[in-house]
Amino acid sequence: VGKSNPQCEHISTLQSHLSAVCDIVVIDNLFFSCGARAQIFSWQMKSNIVVRSGYFMLHPLRRRHGGGGGGNINDENKKDNSDDDHGLDVRFTSIAAISMAENGNYLLFVTASDAVLRIFRYTISTNRFTLLRTSSHSAYCQLRVKVYSTRHIAFVSSTDGLLCAYDFSSLENTIPSTSVKVHQSGINDFGLIEINENNSLRLASVGDDGSVHVSIFDINNWSWKREYSKDNCHQSPATGIRFINSTMFVSIGIDQRLKLWTIKNDEQVLELTKNHLVDIRDILSMDMIFCDETNEFIIVVAGAGVQTIQFDLKNCLFYS
C-alpha cells in the first residue's frame, strides 16, 4: 500500500505453509508468518522479491513413507507406527517480534491454541529458531500478542476474555504475569498506547461479544484498572482495533461498521464519534498507517477482499 496514493499492489504469492496462515509481523527487511500445524516461517524481502529464509515446526509431520522434511525439530531416526499425528492440531495464532541487542538476532513471541506463550530467538546468520521460554496464564486458547519493548512487557489475549501482561525483562527464570478479565468471551484484537511515559499504558480491546473495553495498565505497580466499557456496540463479533492517539481509536467488526471512539477524560465517558460502513464483508483484521504528506491515516481492512479507507483527523472524516 502506497502512503501518498493508497492503492494495493500484488507483489508475490508465497506457498510454504501446510495449512492456514494466522498472522504476519514485519520487522526491518524480514517478516515472520505463523499458523496451523504449529509452523513459523521467516522471509527476507529484497526489492520486490521475497525469499524464504527459515522455518520452525513444533510437531514435524510423520514420515511413514520416507518423505523429506526439515526444520529445527526433525528426527528421521524415530519411527512412529501409529496412525495419529500427535500435536498437529496446535495452531500458532499470533506473532510479535523485536530486535535484540545482539546484531542479527530477533526475539519472537508466539501465542498458540494450546494456551502456551512461546518466546523464540531467531538468528539471521544461521536461519535458526531457538525456543527460550514458555509460559501460560490460563487453560484457554491464546489469540493475540503485542509487545511494549520499552519496558519488556508482552500482552496476550485469550478466548476466556483475559488480557495478560508478561514481564520478559529476564528470561532466565519463570516469567511474572498478571491478568484482568475484560470480555465475556474471546478477545480478537487489542491496541496499546503510552499515556504516561514509562509509567502507564492504555489498552483498548474488542471481542466475540461485540463489545469494546478500555483498560489501564500501571507498569510501576504492575496492576490493571478497567476504565471504560461499551457492551454490544458491534452487531456481530468485533475483529480489529487501532489507536489513532491516546484518546481516539477505531474499531471494526464482521458487521462492516468502522467506528471512531473518543475518550473524554473530563467527562469520564467513551463516546462514539463516527460510524462508517465499509464495502467488504466478513472482516477479519484491520491495520493502519499514518501518512505524513497528507496528515491522514490510511486504514486497511481485510476479509472477503481488501479495502483502504482514509481518515482525515482534522475534519474527523472517513472516505474511501
Confidence of residue 6 (pLDDT cuts 50, 70, 90): low
Full-model pTM: 0.87
491454541: which residue's cell? 113
**180 vs 50 pLDDT, higher one:** 180
Q: Region 138-158: what's the mean pLDDT?
A: 97
CATH 2.130.10.10 assigned to domain 18-73+86-181? The reply is yes
Among 87, 89, 106, 110, residue whose Cα is nearest residue 98: 106
**35 vs 60 pLDDT, higher one:** 35
515446526: which residue's cell? 57
Where are the strands (E) in 127-237, listed by range? 128-135, 142-148, 153-158, 162-167, 177-181, 187-196, 200-207, 212-218, 223-230
Q: Say how many C-beta atoms besides its own lie within 10 A of residue 82's C-beta.
A: 8
Helices within 82-218 (DSSP H only): none
- What's the grid cell of residue 133? 521460554
Distance CA 17, CA 241 (A): 27
Confidence of residue 291 (pLDDT cuts 50, 70, 90): confident
pLDDT at 60: 58
Helices within 123-230 (DSSP H only): none
Q: For the chain, what are the domain ranges?
A: 18-73+86-181
Confidence of residue 49 (pLDDT cuts 50, 70, 90): confident
Q: Are strands 317-319 and 305-312 parallel, antiparallel or unpaired?
A: antiparallel
SS3 of residue 150 by DSSP: helix
Distance CA 320, CA 309 (A): 5
Question: Over 50: is that where the pLDDT of 69 sits?
Answer: no
Kindly report, residue by residue over 84-107, the tens digit of the pLDDT: 444 558 999 999 999 998 999 999
Q: What is the DSSP code (8-state) at residue 38? A: T
SS3 of residue 146 by DSSP: strand
Where are the strands (E) in 81-127, listed by range? 92-99, 105-112, 117-123
Kindly report, residue by residue over 200-259, the tens digit of the pLDDT: 999 999 999 999 999 999 999 999 999 999 999 999 999 999 999 999 999 999 999 999
CA dihedral 263→279→13→45, nearest 10 degrees, is -30
- What's the grid cell of residue 218? 500501571
Q: Are strands 142-148 and 200-207 parallel, antiparallel or unpaired?
A: unpaired
